[in-house]
Structure 1
Amino acid sequence: MSVHFTEDTGSTRKYKFRRIQTGTIRFKVKAAHDVAICLSSDNEEEPEDMYEIFIGCWGGGESGIRRKKHDDVCRIETPDIVNGDEFVGFWIKIQRGVIKVGRSGQKHAFMTYSDPETLLHATWYGFSTGWGAEGEWVFPDDDDTSSSSSSAMSSSDSEAEDINNLEDRPIQYKRPARWVPAKSGYFPRHPVSGGEGPDGEVFVGMAHHEGAYVLGMVVPDHGCCYIPYGGDAIPKSEYFVLSNPGSVTLSWEPGSMGKAPSGALQGGITEDGEALFIGRVSVDGEVSVGKVHGSHGVCYVPYGGKEHAHKHYEVLCVRNVPCRV
């Protein structure tokens, strides 16, 4: 995964922009102090209206949120929150008119702001360091926002080539979706979200295990895909991520007792050749993605280090597009 560098921009806050891909922005940064992320409706050099999120600023011991470059709408003490010698992970979530900022691996935000006005519709985010600090950044969704459509097509072709070169290939769909080989936290373009898990957003994943392709969930902050198997939640550092390169409309539809609704995406296969479907359930109020095993009449999901079985669940479906494999 690429490491991006930001210079000390002093007080000017010159941002490097990236397009927002999902509802949660995740990044790791190595900087002594004065880390800044902006949320904007465009990628101009200096947008007229945006949110700025400051982490480890004002001498290094405070964090805050600013609107329109001058209105500090939130400011809290956060001593030693960033580090100039090692990467520290953060997430920013924009949801229901609220901006939440938290640390990787922690469910609850350490900084929250609810805009009394209409929340600015942000489609871009920028990153910067200043006031004497330089920074190194890593983004799990590493997608160069300056890429042209032709370069995006090249990336897609490269992913297809990676799949074709595998000796033991997983199920491939005719077009609605694509399994992309990945490892250690890598993400392809357009990953399919499974919802909000215990440590933030999770994505639909699959891994080869004991002669089967077992469905599970990729947790970005953990750098692995957890699959339910044999009573355990097994972390796999090499896995597949389901991507949606054609931006086909996918939906989660109710299912029960091992049955899958019309349009369900077959996602995996057991060691005995039985088809598995992509399912998800809520465990203790958190989403977990796993496998609908028809002959067992349940959906198995990984959670808390164990495999959990549920008779009622949701199944990932695609509409108006042939989805048989």
Structure 2
Amino acid sequence: MSIRTIDTEDKLEYQFIPVTGSQLQFRVRASNDAHVALTPGPQEGEPMYEVFFGGWGNSKSVIRKNRTKPEVAEAQTPEILSNDETRGFWIRWNENTITAGKEGDNEPLLSYTDPEPIVVGYTGFCTGWGASGQWQLEGYQPITTLNDLKYTFHPAPGAVIIEVKAKSNAHVALSRSKAESSPMYEILLGGWENTASAIRYDRKQPDKVRKDTPNLLHPGEYKKFAICWLNGHISVRAVDQNGPVILEWKDPNPFGITHVGVRTAWGATGKWNIRIDHPYPTGNPTGRSNVETVRAPEPSAPSERTVPGSTGIWRESVAGMVPSDAVEGGRDLDGPLYVGRAHHEGALIPGKVNPQHSACYIAWGGVEHGKEQYEVLCALPSTWVPTSGDNIPPNAIPAGNTEDGEVLFVGRANHEGTVTIGKVQPSHKVLYIPFGGQEVPLPEYEVLVS
């Protein structure tokens, strides 16, 4: 995570910072030449990164910039792709570094640090040189690419967490450049003298959505919000115990977002903390933003808790955001699920983080509960052991506790076409999974071990 602190004056002028830190996870079935493009806009050309998996007859993988040779990174990867099975990969980029690797591997196959980095707003996919492909992309429906070397483009998802202290009119812009652009999304928090909030498109009225939000902001207290965008779905949540959705709107023609801007006006000044979900939580990007008021983080940075006896770390997160080294433990019908846990009624309960739903789901009291604030398990190789009942392996990961103090473990099981993560409660001799609004008990399951 990266936190930036900004002061805004009483004037209608945005200060922009880049939100290019992101990642892409996908699975693909192809005989060779699965190509991924990273671009500012929804078209090929310059500037552009390309990542080729299984090129040169499924023997080599490379990163190329602006379609020019030599490659900026390459590795020998014989038989990395298969036409008979779907295989997983990831690509991560921050302000100046791009890496790519295989699902389940923390170490990249390819890495390139760019002295003149590209802002990434779109990702594109294609196959060629004799291959067609079936792709499963995080956040999207499955797609098919033909043997034609023509990219299909999708806007890159992302999210920011903002804290703002202002009496009214805290404005947030989501832009495709480091300045006001056309088109552009604007989120108006506490407008109309702190009585209403809205989403506006391309600085035009009428607003796409407007809701009454009396006393949403406060000049003497930080108020925290999560702003997410995924394939044109813009959502704004208040990050508190209940985490209600304040505003949401689906753009039928979404564009790639590369920068977020903040401002205050109409009699208000603001103090802001902005947290961006970079894929390298402990890294120090060298790219500079155009915001000159960046200072050291205030004590609102997310905390970490180590997992005894292992390399694992529990990291605080919100609104479906997951760090790049989060443990992927399952799969829902619409994408991957990650190992999480959340507090509820005096208990700390393991569950499933679903980025597409912006929540961590836990099972308690016969019901599935969605939590916008939670912790994500990170930096731990995922090893799962089949078991049943109360047969808990000695190296199982203790991940929480009931309200009575009984230790809970992380489990998962196949259920109705999914692999769903939940809590193992030994005294009940079952795994409980949150599914379809219910707490579902399953006597046979897998448990996470160190």
Q: Shorter chain as normaliser: what TM range?
A: 0.5 to 0.7
For residue 420 of structure 2, the aligned residue among 284, 288, 310 is 288
Note the 1:190-205 alignment, pairs <5 A. 190-205=325-340
The residue number in structure 2 matching 1:276 is 408
* Amino acid in the other structure paired with 2:392: A
For residue 225 of structure 1, the aligned residue among 341, 360, 363 is 360
C-alpha distance in 2 between matches for 1:258 and 1:159: 41
Please say which of residues 264-273 and 181-190 is displaced more in the overlay.
Answer: 181-190
Contact 1:65 1:73 in 2 (8 A): no
The residue number in structure 1 matching 2:435 is 303
C-alpha distance in 2 between matches for 1:271 and 1:221: 29
Note the 1:179-194 alignment, pairs <5 A. 179-194=314-329
Note the 1:133-282 alignment, pairs <5 A. 135-137=256-258, 142-143=278-279, 147=283, 162-163=302-303, 172-244=307-379, 248-282=380-414
Contact 2:280 2:324 in 1 (8 A): no
C-alpha distance in 1 between matches for 2:282 and 2:400: 35
Contact 1:5 1:135 in 2 (8 A): no
C-alpha distance in 2 between matches for 1:37 and 1:293: 47
Q: 1:148 to 1:263 in 2, by over 3 A?
A: same
Q: 1:136 to 1:228 in 2, by over 3 A?
A: same
TM-score when normalising by structure 2: 0.43
1:212-254 Cα offsets, whole Å, 9 max, x none, are 001100001111100011111110000000011xxx5331110
C-alpha distance in 2 between matches for 1:33 and 1:314: 42
How many angstroms does 1:100 deviate by? 1.2
TM-score when normalising by structure 1: 0.58
C-alpha distance in 2 between matches for 1:136 and 1:23: 20
Q: How many residues align?
A: 236
C-alpha distance in 2 between matches for 1:267 and 1:46: 46
| Secondary structure class of the residue paired with 2:321 | coil
| Secondary structure class of the residue paired with 1:135 | coil
Q: 1:227 to 1:42 in 2, by over 3 A?
A: same
| Secondary structure class of the residue paired with 2:279 | coil
| Secondary structure class of the residue paired with 1:295 | helix
| Secondary structure class of the residue paired with 2:257 | strand
Q: 1:268 to 1:103 in 2, by over 3 A?
A: closer
Please say which of residues 40-49 and 258-267 is displaced more in the overlay.
Answer: 40-49
Larger Rg: 2
Q: 1:4 to 1:150 in 2, by over 3 A?
A: closer
| Secondary structure class of the residue paired with 2:383 | strand
* Amino acid in the other structure paired with 1:241: V
C-alpha distance in 1 between matches for 2:319 and 2:375: 11
1:45 matched to 2:45? The reply is: no
The residue number in structure 2 matching 1:112 is 144
Q: 1:267 to 1:145 in 2, by over 3 A?
A: closer
Contact 2:390 2:427 in 1 (8 A): yes
C-alpha distance in 2 between matches for 1:17 and 1:45: 18
| Secondary structure class of the residue paired with 1:185 | coil
The residue number in structure 1 matching 2:135 is 100
Contact 2:27 2:136 in 1 (8 A): no
1:146-186 Cα offsets, whole Å, 9 max, x none, are 956999xxxxxx9997437xxxxx78434421111111122
The residue number in structure 1 matching 2:115 is none
Contact 1:253 1:314 in 2 (8 A): yes
Structure 2's unaligned 5+ residue stretches are 3-15, 29-37, 53-60, 75-122, 148-154, 157-175, 177-181, 184-254, 260-275, 288-297
| Secondary structure class of the residue paired with 2:348 | strand
Structure 1's unaligned 5+ residue stretches are 7-15, 51-62, 75-97, 116-125, 152-157, 165-169, 319-325
How many angstroms does 1:66 deviate by? 3.5
C-alpha distance in 2 between matches for 1:208 and 1:149: 33
